[in-house]
Amino acid sequence: MPYPLHDLLDDVLAGHRLTEEEAVRLLSTRDRDVWTIAAAADELREAKVGDRVTYVRNQNIHVTNVCKNLCGFCGFGRRADDPEAFCDDIATVREKARTAMARRVTEICLLSGVHPDYTLDSYVDLISCVREAAPGVDIHTASPDEIAWAAERSGVSTVAVIERLREAGLGTLQGTAAEILVDEVRRVICPRKCDTATWARVIREAHGMGIRSTATIMYGSYEGEADRARHLAILRDIQDETGGFTELVPLSFIHQKTPLYRAGQAPPGATGREDILMVAVARLFLDNFDHIQVSWGKVGTKLTEMALLAGADDLGGTMFCDDVSVDAGGEGADYLDPAEMQRIAADLGRTLRQRTTTYEMV
């Protein structure tokens, strides 16, 4: 006799910590119980962070799309000899950072391919140039995979890499490259990226040094519900130890121009049901996270609004440019005007507030 859903959700609202098996059950829901789960997650969101909907004024800077990894779920990364490959020089990056400053951003995300020739010095030079051009902004960059790559290329430890990047101006770490933290899945979707243990170790190291990070999950490609639950459990364990994650960013797979989809190894992205359940179950499962983001660039603004009724409280950033989503086939994924965010929040009777990367109100 399965535990009745209402009882399980009541228990979660009263403080019960969901098990992985229970998360799998919730993620597998296919009927009107989806709304029941979303409503419980929304209640928990309200109890935890109130009626505030937040966003960060930020800009992505893509330095290069040349990438050693060429992940199956990605439409952005290129080989160095690809006619569409690009790699900005320092002067161009500096100019992009100045443009971001003119747009009054509080955060600049350096979001690029993992260039096979980059060393620790390359990353230091990039961060230093942005720090100089954009004093005061949070430089949000360097995934655990990039840190592990810089360490390997330069023959130093990952802790030494993080320390040098911090000295150069790194503010917060990107919790990207997590994808799905299950090695059997990673071997299919991103076989050249760091493994689960390395990702978790580098994140722990950064948090231990006082550098906070986002956490991400890229879902809707090759993995199943059990893999998603395992991933959430790893994040929750790390958060128990470090408290260093600022939020979870669920990233719905954009499939159109990706090798994995073209090879028939992945479906055409997550369904709307899966998008809503990912947010809702994350809110219910990650009892030690304050914030769950909905990624408007991945799911569109209409589903974004529904996710705000299913446990999400943050709209992420203005971005101004997101070639990673656009190159994979995502339309309208590169800029969301805060006026449109305001319309979404107001439509739900909630208040939009601008935040910093680490959730101080601006």
Assess 113 for contact with ligand SF4 (CB under 6 A): yes
| Sole binder of ligand SF4 in the list 13, 70, 160, 226 (CB under 6 A) | 70
Q: How far is the CB of 23 from ligand SF4 (least distance, A)?
A: 25
CA distance 123 to 242: 25
Strands 351-355 and 314-317: unpaired
Burial category of 337 from C-beta neighbours within 10 Å (exposed 0-12, middle 13-18, buried 19 and up): exposed
Burial category of 222 from C-beta neighbours within 10 Å (exposed 0-12, middle 13-18, buried 19 and up): buried
The token pair at 112 is: 């690029």
Query: Could you tell me which stretch among 15-23, 67-75, 166-174, 330-338 binds ligand SF4 (CB under 6 A)?
Result: 67-75
| Residue 264 zone, left/alpha/beta (φ > 0; ψ -120 to 50; rest) | left
Number of other residues whose CB lies within 10 A of the CB of residue 342: 14
Task: Pick between residue 70 and residue 233 the one whose CB is nearest to ligand SF4.
Answer: 70
Query: Could you tell me which stretch among 19-27, 74-82, 222-230, 236-244 binds ligand SF4 (CB under 6 A)?
Result: 74-82
Query: Could you tell me which stretch among 71-79, 262-270, 272-280, 282-290 binds ligand SF4 (CB under 6 A)?
Result: 71-79
Helix axes of 158-168 and 196-208: crossing angle, nearest 10 degrees: 50
Assess 144 for contact with ligand SF4 (CB under 6 A): no
Q: Order of strands across the sheet with 351-355?
A: 314-317, 52-56, 351-355
87: DSSP letter: B
For residue 283, report the phi and psi dihedrals to the nearest 5 degrees. -60, -40
Termini Cα distance of the chain: 50
| Sole binder of ligand SF4 in the list 12, 67, 105, 326 (CB under 6 A) | 67
Count of residues that bind ligand SF4 according to CB under 6 A:
10
The residues with which 219 forms a beta bridge, in sequence order, are 252
- Tell me the residue nearest to ligand SF4 as measured from the CB: 77
193: DSSP letter: S
Assess 74 for contact with ligand SF4 (CB under 6 A): yes
Q: How far is the CB of 240 from ligand SF4 (least distance, A)?
A: 28
Q: Which amino acid is at 356?
A: T
Assess 80 for contact with ligand SF4 (CB under 6 A): no
Show contacts with ligand SF4 in window 3-62 (CB under 6 A): none
Show contacts with ligand SF4 in window 164-223 (CB under 6 A): 190
CA distance 327 to 77: 9
Assess 71 for contact with ligand SF4 (CB under 6 A): yes
| Sole binder of ligand SF4 in the list 29, 69, 295, 304 (CB under 6 A) | 69
Query: Could you tell me which stretch among 11-19, 70-78, 120-128, 333-341 binds ligand SF4 (CB under 6 A)?
Result: 70-78
Query: Could you tell me which stretch among 63-71, 89-97, 265-273, 350-358 binds ligand SF4 (CB under 6 A)?
Result: 63-71
Q: How far is the CB of 78 from ligand SF4 (least distance, A)?
A: 9
Task: Pick between residue 67 and residue 341 the one whose CB is nearest to ligand SF4.
Answer: 67
| Residues in touch with ligand SF4 (CB under 6 A) | 67, 69-71, 74, 76-77, 113-114, 190
